[in-house]
């Protein structure tokens, strides 16, 4: 009997994403940046201003994970790797987690957990205000990222709420832009803006296509995401 044809690279990668160890590995990988920052703080390896380094790097990891979360759906539809949907909720929750770490670093290391001063600082400085708004919008998305919440809210209401991720992405970009404006350094911001522009632009194109006909989707189970 003839041997079966070898699996293509596409199929092998899809089986890799479906492997039972894929989720634990992703979980650990998402924790590595926090471990690196904690190790740097403990060993005094964060440079002359460790507080600023912790605030800045935790914010950058929030943006990276936001980009990764938003990339799941287009990658799944472009490649047909339906297993990627299983990762979206975890990436979204880690985005919210690093956003909280970012805010905590600011509130603790920069403001000494003086909440009256923090409130005044948020009201006074626009770039902190937009960052706080992004975190505020992110909280209900993380809280309702589970299947039980989606069933309780109903699919239509749940999807409407989770469209707030678009506003979160724009607010996060504006927050990062104003942070970089102080140093007149926009190179890294331009990269994030381009990535998020492509990801959000794809969603706009997809929505426009839906008015003229159905958009092809890959088959497979969809895990409830934190961001669509």
pLDDT of residue 40: 94
pLDDT of residue 93: 95
> Chunked in runs of 10, what are the mean pLDDT values of the chain (228 residues)?
56 70 90 96 92 95 95 87 83 96 96 95 94 96 90 90 92 92 84 93 83 53 46
Map out the domains of the chain as residue ranges: 11-212
User: What is the model's pLDDT at position 10?
Assistant: 67
Provide the pLDDT for residue 104.
Answer: 97
Say whether pTM exceeds 0.75: yes
pLDDT given for residue 224 in this prediction:
45
Q: Give the 3-state DSSP-derived string for the chain, with helices as H, strands as E and coil as C.
A: CCCCCCCCHHHHHHHHHHCCCHHHHHHHHHHHHHHHHHHHHHCCCCCCCHHHHHHHHHHHHHHHHHHHHHHHHHHHHHHCCHHHHHHHHHHHHHHHHHHHHHHHHHHHHHCCCCHHHHHHHHHHCHHHHHHHHHHHHHHHHHHCCCHHHHHHHCHHHHHHHHCHHHHHHHHHHHHHHHHHHCCCCCHHHHHHHHHHHHHHHHHHHHHHHHHHCCCCCCCCCCCCCCCC
CA 191 to chain centre: 15
Which pLDDT belongs to residue 9? Answer: 66
């Amino acid at each position: 009997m003839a041997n079966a044809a070898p699996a293509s690279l596409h199929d092998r990668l899809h089986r890799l994403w479906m492997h039972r160890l894929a989720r634990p590995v992703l979980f650990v990988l998402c924790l590595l940046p926090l471990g690196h920052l904690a190790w740097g703080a403990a060993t005094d390896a964060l440079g002359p201003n460790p507080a600023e380094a912790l605030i800045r790097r935790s914010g950058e990891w929030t943006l990276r994970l936001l980009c990764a979360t938003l990339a799941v759906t287009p990658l799944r539809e472009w490649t047909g790797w339906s297993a990627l949907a299983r990762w979206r909720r975890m990436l979204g929750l880690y985005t919210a987690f690093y956003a909280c770490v970012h805010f905590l670093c600011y509130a603790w290391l920069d403001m000494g957990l003086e909440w009256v001063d923090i409130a005044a600082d948020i009201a006074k400085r626009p770039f902190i205000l937009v960052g706080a708004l992004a975190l505020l919008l992110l909280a209900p998305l993380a809280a309702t990222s589970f299947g039980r919440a989606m069933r309780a809210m109903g699919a239509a209401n749940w999807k409407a709420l989770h469209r707030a991720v678009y506003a979160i992405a724009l607010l996060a970009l504006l927050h990062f832009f104003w942070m970089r404006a102080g140093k007149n350094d926009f190179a890294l911001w331009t990269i994030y803006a381009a990535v998020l522009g492509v990801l959000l632009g794809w969603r706009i194109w997809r929505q426009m296509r839906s008015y003229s006909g159905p958009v092809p989707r890959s088959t497979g189970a969809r895990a409830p995401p934190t961001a669509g």
